[in-house]
Amino acid sequence: MVACVGAACNFERDYEIAQEPLFREIELCVRGSDYGATSWTTRDQAEQAAARLGLERGRRLLELGAGSGWPALFLATLSGCDVVLADLPLSGLRIARERAARDGLDSRCSVLAADGAALPFADRSFERIHHADVLCCMDRKREMLCECRRVARAGARMEFSVISLAREPAGDDERRLLQQSGPPHPDAGVDYAVLLKECRWTLLERIDVTGEFMRCMEVLIQESHARRAALVELLGDEDHAERLERRRCTCAAVERGLLRREIFFAQAAGPAARHGVGLA
Ligand SMILES: C[S@@+](CC[C@H](N)C(=O)[O-])C[C@H]1O[C@@H](n2cnc3c(N)ncnc32)[C@H](O)[C@@H]1O
């Protein structure tokens, strides 16, 4: 297995840039959101997550790797639930807090800097957890899933999306292609179903959304071409070309069957889980 294969990210800077109107226009075309998203979660997928997680007024959702608020703030607006947003880049958290205030979510939203693999919460604090393409941006995947389990109540539900290696690269060309693609840590070493079980999560549903991931990237490439001059002015020639090349390589890696994107829906194993999904 290759430990870390994809291109590096600079989320601190990306969250600032993503607030530019030009980027928000593109985001709307690609995902149907305007929060400055860096995951590939579409608006439809966020709505489906709200339904699977049974989000509603009075429930509290922990969003890890929350970035600038997508999709947690959208989920709070949609369902009326409370949200706790945790991530490391302060730029994203600041933008999320400002957006929460603008959207009237101040009293239902808290924001904190925290490492998903070492959470600053007591055991059994949450009944709903969500994260979008976070595990593929970090290497301590098992630690994060175990931390999620520690802070989850028995029977709590968790949903996450993740981009992973669908097969081993065959040779140096494919290894190079993965190095030029995103995200930075797609290799989990074992299947996520195994990791979830080891961390005491019961897998309820596994959904392959690779086709939608590919469609989003194709739209992003098209929209970037259509706005090339404005993007070059904002990012500079080199940065713009590097971003586009990373997307092209990611598309090529998906087409070759090297990368896939999936959604996992799980329930905390424990006394409440024995009776099925509907108890948390
Ligand atoms: C692809 S982005 C998704 C952000 C946001 N949820 C969205 O949909 O736009 C992945 C996020 O995971 C965060 N992340 C990476 N490693 C982390 C860690 N150890 N603890 C918490 N967050 C982490 C990154 O800072 C980044 O904001």
Amino acid, single-letter form, for residue 228: R
274 Cα: distance to centroid of ligand 1 (angstroms)? 32
In three state form, how does the secondary structure of the chain look? Answer: CCCCCCCCCCHHHHHHHCCCHHHHHHHHHHHCCCCCCCCCCCHHHHHHHHHHHCCCCCCEEEEECCCCCCCHHHHHHHHCCEEEEEECCHHHHHHHHHHHHHCCCHHHEEEEECECCECCCCCCCEEEEEEECCHHHCCCHHHHHHHHHHHEEEEEEEEEEEEEECCCCCCHHHHHHHHCCCCCCCCCCCCHHHHHHHCCEEEEEEEECHHHHHHHHHHHHHHHHHCHHHHHHHHCHHHHHHHHHHHHHHHHHHHCCCEEEEEEEEEECCHHHHHCHHHC
Instruction: Return the pLDDT at 5.
Output: 52
Q: Does the C-beta of 169 come closer than 6 Å to ligand 1? A: no
Instruction: Return the pLDDT at 117.
Output: 98
Q: Does the C-beta of 38 come closer than 6 Å to ligand 1? A: yes
Q: Whose CA is nearest to atom 4 of ligand 1?
A: 67
Burial class (CB in 10 A: 0-12, 13-18, 19+), 173: exposed
Instruction: Return the pLDDT at 182.
Output: 84
89 Cα: distance to centroid of ligand 1 (angstroms)? 8
Instruction: Return the pLDDT at 4.
Output: 42
Q: Whose CA is nearest to atom 23 of ligand 1?
A: 65
Beta bridge partners of 113: 87
pTM, two decimals, is 0.94
> If we measure between CA atoms, which residue out of 193, 243, 235 comes closest to residue 217?
243
Q: Which residues of the chain are under the pLDDT cut of 70?
A: 1-8, 271-280
Instruction: Return the pLDDT at 177.
Output: 97
Q: Does the C-beta of 49 come closer than 6 Å to ligand 1? A: no
Instruction: Return the pLDDT at 278.
Output: 37
Q: Does the C-beta of 117 come closer than 6 Å to ligand 1? A: yes
Q: Does the C-beta of 253 come closer than 6 Å to ligand 1? A: no
Say which residues have a Cβ less than 8 Å from residue 229's Cβ, sequence separation at least 6.
none
Contact 250, 184 (CB under 8 A): no
Give the number of C-alpha atoms closer than 13 A to the C-alpha of residue 106, restricted to the C-beta side: 4
Domain spans of the chain? 11-268
Fold of 11-268: Rossmann fold (3.40.50)
- The answer to whether the peptide bond before residue 71 is cis (omega within 30 degrees of 0) is yes
